[in-house]
Amino acid sequence: MSCFRKQINTAVVFAVMFTSLLSAEQPWKGPSVDFGHGDLKVSENKRFIVHADGTPFFYLGDTAWELFHRLNREEIDRYLENRRQKGFTVIQAVVLAELDGLNTPNANGDRPFADNNPRRPNEAYFKHVDYVVDKARQKGIYIGMLPTWGDKVTKAWGKGPVIFTPNNLGDAEFYGKFLGNRYKDKPNIIWILGGDRLADSVESVWRAMARGIEQGDNDRHLKTYHPQGGRTSAQWFGADSWLDFNMLQSGHDRFDNDNYNRVSADYNRKPTKPCLDGEPRYEDHPVNWKPQNGWFGDFDVRQAAYWALFAGGFGHTYGCHDIWQMYAPGRAPISSARNNWYDVLDLPGAWDMIHVRNLIESRPFLSRVPDQSLVAGDPGRGAEHIQATRGSGYAFIYLPYGQDVEVTLGRISGSKVRAWWFDPRSGQAESIGTFENAGSRRFDPPGDKRRGNDWVLVLDDADKQVAKPGTK
């Protein structure tokens, strides 16, 4: 087994080195987000997130759950700079961390509370959290801040201990108000309550914490809830006024997890709220937590991203199994983690996320809606499912296996359409030609039909003469 693992590790590191060479000349330039556009809010059509001045905001997240807890300042700088270069706009991290976050000190030797009492916060611990928030702000990155992991609220699994219960709602509200007040003047905060847990029987705790946050930050920052795998925040809080957008977790249990169905279900819920997959399958994660089942790779994270976005997600979250836990020598691996976090910052799938963002932002995405009628016939199920979306003067169709697709034309404006193949691995687009925007037409992407040969068919209103997909 150790020999097999060594072979896998070598392959992963080689892939990282090769991809870094290909992508090193294409990092994101400047801050990832311009905070000058103002605070975030829900768009008028309640499908997207925009800045105060109406500028669209693309939520491209990374799960760095143990960021506050395990990294020192030098490591924090390295991680955040790497994510800035890849265009990530949100880093999801937990204040009271999952991995014994109450009793195991942070990198500076500090614990969050005296005697695990949420009414007695340790200033030294929270100054370290402050550092992360401020450093992220310098780089134009939001912190998707989880006040606590779910094991501090319900003892389903994890070390806990449980310190917030329905019998002491005042503690949850006090802690929420403390955090809200501390970060009320920071522009780069998005609140994410929950922490990989069902809210059954403890809804009152999360509502009390949300109420405290609102009191502390004067309801300035957006809020959502991170649920257990296979669930959505809408199950408990979809109608709550404090929940600004719905987050689901499609999870890590199988290849080709149909997260497009889960996003579509949230997209069609009432009341209407923006939605996204906040924890899909992670790169370098064992399938269903068992190495013998194989490992998720770059194709898996691309497939999850394009499926979810084209099904109606306003953004998406990437994750790497080694990075969320900040695995390093001397730490026990969680669920068979096999690589140090700093060795896999440049995995192919992480680089591929910059191409996702570039594609979405290269077209007017506030007009975008899911539209499976673009696919003539059955879009398929399982691994080869075709997912389509369109907006003002354009359409995107994702082909996960590079299969032929019969497209119903006339669904976007214009007498003619210009067609492109967009490569999700390189971010490059090549023109196919210009065609009458009527009837139907079959398109055949480059290469053979196979897993990993995914493509996006882009159709543009030819009269608009827009830039190449993925460019501005």
> Domain map of the chain by residue range?
2-361, 369-464
Please give the average per-residue pLDDT across 95-121, as a whole number: 98
CA distance 344 to 455: 25
Answer yes or no: is pLDDT of 21 > 70: no
Ranges assigned E (strand) in 300-428: 315-318, 369-370, 387-391, 394-399, 405-408, 416-422
Q: What is the pLDDT of residues 387-439, one digit of tens each?
A: 999 999 999 999 999 999 999 999 999 999 999 999 999 999 999 999 999 99
> Can you give the pLDDT at residue 157?
74
> Can you give the pLDDT at residue 15?
44
> Can you give the pLDDT at residue 308?
98
Q: What is the pLDDT of residues 448-466, one digit of tens each?
A: 999 999 999 999 999 999 9
> Can you give the pLDDT at residue 109?
98
Give the rounded percent of residues in the chain with a pLDDT score beyond 90. 92
Please check whether the domain covering 2-361 is classified as CATH 3.20.20.80: yes
For residues 194 and 225, the answer to whether their CB atoms sit within 8 Å is yes
Answer yes or no: is pLDDT of 10 > 60: no
> What is the pairing mode between strands 90-96 and 142-148?
parallel
> What is the band of 19 on the pLDDT scale with cuts at 50, 70, 90?
very low
Q: Which CATH number is 369-464 given?
A: 2.60.40
Q: What is the pLDDT of residues 299-320, one digit of tens each?
A: 999 999 999 999 999 999 999 9
Burial class (CB in 10 A: 0-12, 13-18, 19+), 404: exposed
For residues 347 and 12, the answer to whether their CB atoms sit within 8 Å is yes
* Radius of gyration of the CA atoms of the chain, in A: 22
> Can you give the pLDDT at residue 22?
43
Q: What is the pLDDT of residues 251-278, one digit of tens each?
A: 999 999 999 999 999 999 999 999 999 9
What size, in residues, is the chain?
A: 472
Enter the pTM of the model.
0.94
Report in angstroms the alpha-carbon separations of 270 from 46, 116, 186, 245, 445: 11, 39, 31, 12, 37
